[in-house]
């Protein structure tokens, strides 16, 4: 008879890779006068979450505009057209998922 402990395999989901040499993206120096992009992945409440985050940001900064986009599904990456449009029109973009 084989004991259960001899058959049990445990996997550790933590990333063991050593991340070195990675730098944070350059910061914009503040959001006053900037265009904020909001990209939803179309999960329930993701647009509500993004709207709430935008309202919090507006409490602190004078945004020039807010651009909203929805990539249509959480299952695949956003189409290149949406990414290109946000990159062209926005100074910063926040992406959110929710349920």
**What tens digit of pLDDT does each residue of 64-80 get?**
999 999 998 888 889 99
Q: What are phi and psi of 86, to 5 degrees?
A: -65, -40
End-to-end, the C-alpha distance of the chain in Å comes to: 46
pLDDT band at 97 (very low <50, low <70, confident <90, very high): confident
Distance, in Å, from the CA atom of 56 to the CA atom of 80, rounded to the nearest integer, reads: 29
What pLDDT does residue 6 have? 64
What pLDDT does residue 40 have? 94
Provide the greatest CA pair distance for the chain. 72
Closest CA to 28 of 93, 94, 96, 92: 92
**What tens digit of pLDDT does each residue of 2-47 get?**
555 566 666 777 767 776 767 777 776 889 999 999 999 989 889 9
DSSP 16: -
Contact, 46 vs 96, CB < 8 A? yes
Q: Which residue has the higher pLDDT, 6 or 53?
A: 53
pTM of the predicted structure, to 2 decimals: 0.71
Ramachandran bin of 33, using left for φ above 0, alpha for ψ from -120 to 50, beta for the remaining angles: left
Q: Which residue has the higher pLDDT, 6 or 91?
A: 91
DSSP 4: H
What pLDDT does residue 61 have? 95
């Amino acid at each position: 008879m084989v004991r259960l402990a001899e058959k049990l395999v445990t996997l550790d989901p933590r990333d063991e890779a050593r991340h070195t040499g990675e730098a944070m993206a350059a910061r914009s120096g503040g959001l006053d006068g900037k265009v904020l992009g909001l990209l939803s992945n179309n999960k329930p409440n993701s647009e509500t979450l993004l709207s709430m985050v935008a309202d919090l940001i507006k409490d602190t900064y004078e945004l020039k505009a807010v651009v909203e986009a929805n990539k249509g599904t959480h299952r695949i990456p956003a189409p290149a057209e949406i990414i290109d449009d946000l990159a062209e029109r926005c100074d910063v973009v926040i992406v959110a998922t929710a349920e």
